[in-house]
Structure 1
């Protein structure tokens, strides 16, 4: 049963939930907010609709506004004359799958086929292939990043629930007015025929939008397509005026400690982070994780090891069936590190300091845990390599298989997201960035139980040097420096 739960957890996490969360929180490989002074991007999903899309086009033409329409392929195929009009009147056409199904429940090949089919339909009508894609409900899966590299994935800054008729035009207008600011990407709907939508809800959307366009004109705003918003944003970034990213950069004291700026995040990001943290709590309950110390950084569980035999330090061998203390990082901590750190140096220093600070708590926790007396080793999986040895760990390659593959994907996505030059780092050093098992024999872990920090460091350094007599002391120090300058990881 536990194996089934693990497989289900990893599938949902790595294939669907995690990519969507990363995209929404960090904007990874997606566009969702512009950097503009007077421009707002209007986007419409689910059409074209034979009743409401023409009325919407009439309104946009009358007000001199441009927009982006993410069309459902089967609707475009059914109403090609409306798609042609959208194109002829200077609006942008994007893809919203051939049918309105979420990517979470489709195979990568199916998603790709739906997108290609819709692209062919649009090209046949307009003569131009679309460059933009919005997955239904904004839900991407992990393969969308690679399979859709030729398309720009577009999400949104604000959505308003306009697919529900009962919301009413007045309440919808007030919601839209509250978000009417430069750089916004509004998500609206010109069709109410999809699952969960009300057929005549777009009537409220058109009514509220008419007032918003009037308000925007009085405020000096322009309503533009997503192509122009992306172009404006890229120009702003190239000029170095990305104030949002500047606000996220932490200060570093002379002792290299991180001073957090407490960057602000929007409501949607807070909501998604809350959902992810709740999901993590469910995981904790399912696998009975317990906090280490104050619980801010690490959790653990006692379980039986199920891998190949591993020769450990202190002349010990770990066999399948032996008890281990499995350590997990807190996702809240990883999120805060990602939001408040600008380099792997800062993240690496923070991780090694917290690990060093928490190891005595781990040793004391092991002494009182159920089956703790049977535990043979402390165990985790991370991208931390040589530097972990200075704490008493041994590092070992992960056996090839499903767990190794999914963990590798997760950690590569993680470093792309939380490191400022993560994409470049993965491209240039990807072959050296592989997750490894970190295993510390019980005997070494228990030496941390009662020692002060000042006493621990010389002792563990002597232990490390004794375990690798052929390596010079300077090389050991070099290995530790290499960790602090170049590694990042997550114990899973």
Structure 2
């Protein structure tokens, strides 16, 4: 049995692993699934049903599947594995010649959560090359295995259209047989769904004979759909009909997501020892740390160099959500934020006096930075790179989540939504927002602000 001391010693490592997984794959996957951002997973108009098939092609089951689709004159979308496409090019040719759409499902069936960004891109590059060599068409539709992505996959939306699903009937399992799959398909027949099925039982967690039951259930399902005159369309046709419009999350869903986000931030603050500057007015959270980055020329003539101590500011996003809700425009929001920050600056100045270390500057990253220069902050662009892109994605995601108009706001003057580093030297801070001698004298006998 593990000792308590050993378990306690493992806690920082376990927290670190959890944090990496949360930021790298869990949070991005939940975001795109719940908010429907940058992915296509469900229709918003009653134009028909989309049948999609993953994990093929398979030499035994894909020909039978194509025969069934041909029998009912239905076209579908196939998300194939690049390695199988290379192994069975004649099946890829048949899928294409019979009018079905071909997308990609990685080169092999590995989850993106367990791969580096470079590895994911190689999987996609090899898969695209395999399809192009067979049918001469470049696939642009992509479904990641198990519907799991990592944070860097969000940069793929410029090249690929991510397609998830709205109905999964666990057809990779043999348990329950044909009747179970058929009943689940029929239960959702009245709704316009993107249905995902699997024409291979060779992937991890699947039963080898499962496609037998899927094919029998599909045959019966399509016979009923034919009698009911149900329309089936390819994914690209869906997107064309919808003109790329997506369903906005409901108020209840958005409220829930905001609740989860703010709870997660509390955990984040606890993990990294980020504390409120004023417990009675928690507009800012902060921590003292060493600055790591390029040299920044401060307005006071000083330089902020790598290794200098800074107070890192974090805006209270609960307060930000309140300000956004009360604002009619981004301009009004900027004005309110400027007023809130300006009124808080003397408190921040007082906070600096209680820090025993020699702090060079106040430092923060923000996307709403209008009016910062008038408050004495120097604005600097983030150096281009992975950190800049991830930061910009995070801040835009936060704005999309907190702002009442969500994604529509991101489309308005998106060029202005660029994160900046805001810095002010402690020397300039104290000079510009010096509190009175009497207040400092009183503060020296007061309990320090935590």
Kept in 2: contact 1:132–1:152 (CA 8 A): yes
Q: Distance in 1 between matches of 2:81 and 2:99?
A: 19
In 2, distance between residues paired with 1:192 and 1:139?
A: 19
Tell me, yes or no, if the aligned pair for 1:14 and 1:410 is still in contact at 8 Å: no
8 Å CA contact retained: 1:161, 1:167: no
Question: TM-score by structure 2 length?
Answer: 0.69
**Structure 2 residue 109 is matched with structure 1 residue 100:** yes
Distance in 1, Cα, partners of 2:116 & 2:251? 37
CA RMSD of aligned residues (A): 5.0
* Shift in alpha-carbon separation, 1:113–1:293, aligned structure 2, 3 A: same
- Give the distance between the partners of 2:55 and 2:269, measured in 1 at CA: 38
| Farther off after superposition, 282-291 or 416-425 | 416-425
Aligned to 1:47: 56
- The answer (yes or no) to whether the contact 1:312–1:394 under 8 Å persists in 2 is yes
Write out per-residue CA displacement over residues 371-407 of structure 1, whole angstroms, 9 at most, x where no aligned residue. Answer: 66779665421123342345x4513326748686345
Q: How has the CA–CA distance of structure 1 residues 381 and 439 changed in structure 2, closer, same or farther, with 3 Å as cutoff?
A: farther
How many residues align structurally?
413
Residue 326 in structure 1 maps to residue 313 in structure 2: yes
> Which range is displaced more, 33-42 or 284-293?
284-293
Residues in 1 aligned to 2:352 and 2:168: alpha-carbon distance in whole angstroms: 48
**2:424 matched to 1:436?**
no
Q: Which residues in structure 2 correspond to 1:72-471 (within 5 Å)? A: 72-141=81-150, 144=153, 149-166=158-175, 169-217=178-226, 219-234=228-243, 244=247, 263=251, 265=253, 280-290=265-275, 300-306=285-291, 311=298, 322=309, 324=311, 326-330=313-317, 346-347=329-330, 349-350=332-333, 353=336, 356=339, 379-389=363-373, 392=375, 394-397=377-380, 400=383, 405-406=388-389, 409-410=392-393, 414=397, 418-420=406-408, 422=410, 425-426=413-414, 429=415, 433-439=418-424, 443=430
Q: Is it true that 1:64 corresponds to 2:47 in the alignment?
A: no
| Separation in 1, partners of 2:335, 2:108 | 48
Residues 285-307 of structure 1 deviation map (CA, whole Å, 9 limit, x = unaligned) = 32133467899995623323425
Change (3 A) 1:202 1:309: same
CA distance in 2, matches of 1:331, 1:45: 41
Kept in 2: contact 1:292–1:358 (CA 8 A)? no
Aligned to 1:223, the other structure's residue is in SS state: coil
Gaps of 5+ in 2: 1-12, 401-405, 437-450
TM-score (norm 1): 0.64
How far off its partner does 1:43 sit? 0.8
Instruction: Check whether the contact 2:365–2:419 (CA below 8 A) recurs between aligned residues.
Output: no
Q: Distance in 2 between matches of 1:166 and 1:446?
A: 73
> 1:39, CA displacement in angstroms?
0.8
Deviation at 1:101, TM superposition (A): 1.9
Contact 2:48 2:233 in 1 (8 A): yes
Q: Secondary structure at the match of 1:188?
A: strand
